[in-house]
Copies of this chain bind each other. A is one copy, B any other.
């Protein structure tokens, strides 16, 4: 149970967070962790594995808002809002650190920088959402997929979860479709185009990007 994951959550100078942790919980892949509209008394931090935040319409259409990597708080808005605006589902088997909401809240309030850090996390969350909006509204299929891969790669590198030209990548084409607003079939087609252009290739849970500069040029 390394402290590294906590560091990455933005609460950098607080090694004593560990004492706050209520417990640790493990879940299998493809399990819904939180539902939209939930009002939980617990704040979860992803300790290991991948997950994603999403919203769904009644008729089954789904939109993935963002992917969550180890270190991410998966229900940060619950610190400020009573009801969660999105659902969360695990992608791989995950383990979570559980914090009691009120205890975490009083801990944060004890020092001003901590509250500020929480606000910073929240602000970068909405900045990230802005990026996604630009993708969905104004970019082509290839651009959306390329940008999605680049954003995940940069997150992986930031946390030192990967470095080389090959990255762990447990998303299926269905997840990519739901994140980019496309259809699985069209994602598949676009992906083969990108592969033929030697820009990226995905297989068996791994993404390889031979020339990351070429990908960024899109």
Contact between A80 and B115, CB atoms less than 8 A apart: no
Surface stretch bound by B, among A24-32, A132-140, A160-168: A132-140
Contact between A80 and B122, CB atoms less than 8 A apart: yes
Contact between A133 and B133, CB atoms less than 8 A apart: yes
Contact between B130 and A80, CB atoms less than 8 A apart: no
Contact between B63 and A124, CB atoms less than 8 A apart: no
Contact between B62 and A119, CB atoms less than 8 A apart: no
Q: Which residues from 123 to 153 on chain A have a C-beta closer than 8 Å to any C-beta of chain B?
A: 123-127, 129-134, 136-139
A138 to chain B, nearest CB (A): 4
Given contacts A63-B137, A109-B115, 9 further A-B contacts (CB under 8 A): A57-B134, A63-B134, A65-B130, A85-B130, A112-B115, A118-B119, A129-B129, A133-B133, A137-B180
Known: A115-B112, A119-B119, A122-B123. A133 touches B130 (CB 8 A): no
What is the total number of copies of this protein in its complex? 2
Contact between A133 and B123, CB atoms less than 8 A apart: no
Mask, A160-181, CB within 8 Å of B = 1, is: 0000000000000000001011
Mask, A79-109, CB within 8 Å of B = 1, is: 1110001100000000000000000000001
A-B contact pairs, 16 of them (CB 8 A): A53-B130, A55-B133, A55-B134, A77-B126, A77-B127, A79-B119, A80-B116, A80-B119, A80-B120, A85-B131, A109-B116, A112-B115, A115-B116, A115-B119, A126-B126, A137-B181
Contact between B77 and A138, CB atoms less than 8 A apart: no
A53 to chain B, nearest CB (A): 8
In the bound assembly, the distance between CA atoms of A63 and B116 in angstroms comes to 29
